[in-house]
Amino acid sequence: MADRGSSEERDVASLPASARERLRARESLSPSLYVTDLSTGDLLALRQAGAEPLGQVMGCSVYAVTAPRSSAVSGELKFLTGALLASQNLALGRLRAEAALLNADGVVGVRLQRQHRGSHDTPFQEWKVTGTAIRVGNRSSSNSAPWLSGLSGTEYSLLRQAGYRPAGLVFGNCAYYRITDPRRVPGYPSNTSTALYSSYERSEHAEAIAQARHLALHRMEDAAHSVGADGIVGVMVEIERHLGTETYGLPDLFVHFFAMGTAITALPGSTTGTLDVTMSLPLR
């Protein structure tokens, strides 16, 4: 877990003053009142696991994305990958800051939503992330930042019973652009516009998706290794595709591959043993 420091202080400072006051005042309420989107079953499962719900927390970010003026080439759009990562981290940092103000150990049920805003020339990425802050037993360490988890209350309880705990949310993303290769179009080098009426695989598009997936999942695995995880569970995959500027009469492909999961590690004294970092991917 990361030590609380200047980055968390910046996240707390970026919250509205009214939000900071409201969250800090919650600690003095007796009996405390919490608000959560957890189901009744998840709430009971958390209680059985010895966890106390503290309330719903949220983070958001609206990020302007400026594309370089140079012509596009096939490959990763690193400026866009970096912009998506930066805006995502701002939203998550604010979520964690709200949890810290509640003196939480962690956040369960984290859900991330991303929307496009603005025009084609001045696009914006809007991120919203929500979850339920919890405290596990007595707060033992004020030097540890709250961990984040996409697991539900029931899943968290089952994880603890199995001898594991969340180590944090891990992500991987990649924005990739692929220009049409006319040599792969039926009828090349004749008029390729006839290919619009032919059925064939756009193999270069399939390769672009596969490459974006490889880079994104590799980055998620690296993030899991950095927190000493034994595995990654509850992986969510989102693939965004749209067609770009036409080349040789056929549209190019833009793809953004995004993956999010919960890194887990064995509890101290657990007999589960050490596992290699693995992932469970949804088959859909």
In the three-class reduction of DSSP (H, G, I as helix; E, B as strand; rest coil), residue 163 is classed as coil
Pairing between β-strand 231-247 and β-strand 147-148 as defined by DSSP bridges:
unpaired
The rounded mean pLDDT for the chain is 79
Residue 144's pLDDT is: 77
State how far the alpha carbon of 225 is from the alpha carbons of 160, 162, 229, in Å.
20, 21, 6
pLDDT digits (tens, 9 = 90+) for 158-189: 999 899 999 999 999 999 988 877 666 666 65
Residue carrying structure tokens 């609380």: 4
pLDDT-derived band at 2 (thresholds 50, 70, 90) equals: very low
pLDDT digits (tens, 9 = 90+) for 70-98: 556 788 988 888 888 888 899 999 999 98
- For 69, the token pair is 């003026």
pLDDT digits (tens, 9 = 90+) for 113-138: 887 765 545 567 788 999 999 998 75
pLDDT digits (tens, 9 = 90+) for 37-57: 888 899 899 998 889 899 899
Q: Where are the domains of the chain?
A: 1-69+79-161, 174-284
Residue 71's pLDDT is: 53
The fraction of the chain above a pLDDT of 90, given in percent, is: 32
Question: How many CA atoms lie less than 13 Å away from 127 in the CB half-sphere?
Answer: 23
Answer whether CATH 3.30.110.70 is correct for domain 1-69+79-161: yes
Residue carrying structure tokens 């979850």: 131
Sign of the torsion angle spanned by Cα atoms 241, 242, 245, 251: positive
Question: Residue 188 has what DSSP assignment?
Answer: T
Distance CA 90, CA 101 (A): 17
The whole-number average pLDDT for the span 254-281 is 74
